Amino acid sequence: MLDSIPAKNIRHQDAILNNLAWVIQSPPIIQGNNNHCHWAGNTFWQHANKQFATQSASPNPLALHQLINKQTDHRLGHYFETLINYWFTNSTRYQLLAQNLQVHDGKQTIGEFDFIVHDRQENKTQHWEVACKFYLGIGNTKNIENWHGPMLKDKLVNKYQKMQAHQSKLSEHPVAQSLLKKLSIHIDQKICLMKGRLFYPLNQEKRLPLPSFLITIYKVGGLNQTALFNALKNIPFFGKF
Res. 123: pLDDT tops 70: yes
The mean per-residue pLDDT over the stretch 200-221 comes to 67
What are the two backbone dihedrals, phi and then psi, of residue 22, each rounded to the nearest 5 degrees? -65, -40
Res. 194: pLDDT tops 50: yes
Cα–Cα distance for residue pair 24/19, rounded to 1 Å = 9
Q: Tens digit of pLDDT for each residue in 163-186? A: 999 999 999 999 999 999 999 999
Considering 1-10, 87-96, 183-192, the range whose residues carry the highest mean pLDDT is: 183-192
**Least-confidence region, from 48-57, 154-163, 176-185:** 48-57
Sign of CA dihedral 75, 78, 80, 86: negative
Residue 141's pLDDT is what?
86
Residue 40's pLDDT is what?
87
pTM for the whole structure? 0.83
The size of the chain, in residues, is 241
